[in-house]
Amino acid sequence: MNYNIMLIGFMGTGKTTVSRKLSETMNIKEVDMDAYIVEHEGRSINDIFKDDGEETFRNIETACLVEIQKTTGKIVSCGGGAVLKDENVELMKQNGKIVLLTAKPETVYKRVKNSKDRPILNGNMNVEFISELMAKRDSRYHEVADIIIATDDKSPDEICSEIKINLDKMV
């Protein structure tokens, strides 16, 4: 595979679960951007936000993307805010196909409500906040995507086969 599959979308749209599953079924390497950042920084995403702020996190995110995009043949699960910077989208498009996963705010809430790992949602864990932030980001997600898959009420297997069918159509 001479490209990377870049999974993007709001927090809780299933990027991590789907990329793990896709990596198993397609037998290709998976990189989770958040996990990559945590490993390289030696501290949690919460700690990066707390100690150095969001801007520093976003700069680290770009630096990681530069490294990740140096090789192809992988599935990359991108952080929910990664496409907000033009520079990051350019990096993704250089050698990647961008797959957007979507979900309704209620679905996202159900999936993330017990997690404390997302600084943007800590203290804002409710459908209204999720809905408002999603509305702000939605057009951006849609305009950069090559493929769009709705994930509500679908199993990871169903989502993976939809992604594969759509990727095949693109080649």
Q: How far is the CB of 95 from ligand S3P (least distance, A)?
A: 21
Residues that bind ligand S3P (rule: CB under 6 A) add up to a total of 10
Residue 119 in contact with ligand S3P, rule: CB under 6 A? yes
Residue 79 in contact with ligand S3P, rule: CB under 6 A? yes
Tokens encoding 94: 């250089």
* Phi, psi (degrees; rounded to nearest 5) at 30: -120, 135
b/e per residue 79-103 (b: at least 16 CB within 10 A) = bbbbbbeeebbebbeeebbbbbbbb
Q: With contact defined as beta carbons under 8 Å apart, do 66 and 91 qualify?
A: yes
Residue 45 in contact with ligand S3P, rule: CB under 6 A? yes
Q: How far is the CB of 79 from ligand S3P (least distance, A)?
A: 3
β pairing state of 29-32 and 147-150: unpaired
Residue 80 in contact with ligand S3P, rule: CB under 6 A? yes
Q: How far is the CB of 133 from ligand S3P (least distance, A)?
A: 8
Contacts of 42 (CB under 8 A, 6+ apart): none
Residues 130-149 interacting with ligand S3P (rule: CB under 6 A): none
Decide whether 119 or 156 has the Cβ nearer to ligand S3P.
119
Q: How far is the CB of 39 from ligand S3P (least distance, A)?
A: 14
Backbone φ/ψ region at 3: left (φ over 0), alpha (ψ -120 to 50), beta: beta
Enumerate binding residues for ligand S3P (CB under 6 A): 11, 15, 34, 45, 79-81, 118-120
